[in-house]
Amino acid sequence: MQMAHARVAHQQCGDCPIRYRAVCARCEEDELQQLEQIKYYRSFQAGQTVIWSGDRMDFVASVVSGIATLTQTMEDGRRQMVGLLLPSDFVGRPGRQTAVFDVTATTDLVMCCFRKKPFEDMMIRTPNVAQRLLEMTLDELDAAREWMLLLGRKTAREKIASLIATIVRRETALTDRDRGGVTTIDLPLTREQMADYLGLTLETVSRQISALRKDGVIELSGSRQVAIRDVNRLIEETGDDSDGGLLV
């Protein structure tokens, strides 16, 4: 059963922080007005379940702020984290009635939700929405392939660096041109969750985070806050080249 959630004050699309990254990125003014008619906001506290796998979904949504996890539960009760939802990521699948994964807020979360049937109808009438959703789906497929590479070939140190770099890029919308200065983020996952997500032990995660700190790649404040003085140095630690490919 879905947990209780709170409604959030309506926000105009033009003022939205994910306006040019979300499913509405290509929309013209008249298309934004159509979305305004079918959208509403929901907020969830850290730890709350947004939707359970198998539950009927009457909405699709974009993450506006905060981070959520996608988790799959096996028949014997074992759980595996299979993905992260970061700001601008899309939740739900048009044409599918039920959720495939458990979606859980790991930080306080705000979502811009669209009533599902009107959104599906709008996709048929509005190529800009359908095209953008296709782009995001293909980006997600690329990310899944990169994660297969990470899990299969990267070292523990590279895995930790890659996860931190992914969060830095997405939370700060960082580009190659603005990698100067100190970048500070709050890790949305506990070290236990990071171990689960990366296929590592808790001890290995703690050891590699400490090693990155000792080598000056990151600075720690408490258990969650991470500061990066040189993002390029962090990127080097991921094992990827400047174009995002694996260094060989």
Within-domain flag for 116: yes
pLDDT tens by residue, 61-111:
999 999 999 998 888 887 888 888 999 999 999 989 999 999 999 999 999
Q: Determine which of 13-22, 41-50, 127-136, 239-248 has the lowest per-residue pLDDT on average.
A: 239-248
Q: Determine which of 116-120, 160-164, 222-226, 231-235 has the lowest per-residue pLDDT on average.
A: 222-226
Q: Are 189 and 197 spatial neighbours (Cβ–Cβ below 8 Å)?
A: yes
Last residue of a domain, one of 82, 110, 143: 143
CATH number at residue 162: 1.10.10.10
Residues 158 and 229 in one domain: yes
Rounded to whole angstroms, the Cα distance separating 157 from 105 reads: 26
- Domain residues for the domain of 43 are 6-143
Residues 139 and 230 in one domain: no
Rounded to whole angstroms, the Cα distance separating 186 from 225 reads: 4
For residue 48, give the nearest of 93, 2, 101, 95 by alpha carbon: 2
Q: Which amino acid is at 37?
A: Q
Q: In residues, how long is the chain?
A: 248
Q: Which helix (H) or strand (E) holds 130?
A: helix 127-153
Last residue of a domain, one of 104, 119, 143: 143
Mean pLDDT, residues 140-168 taken together = 87
pTM score of the predicted model: 0.79
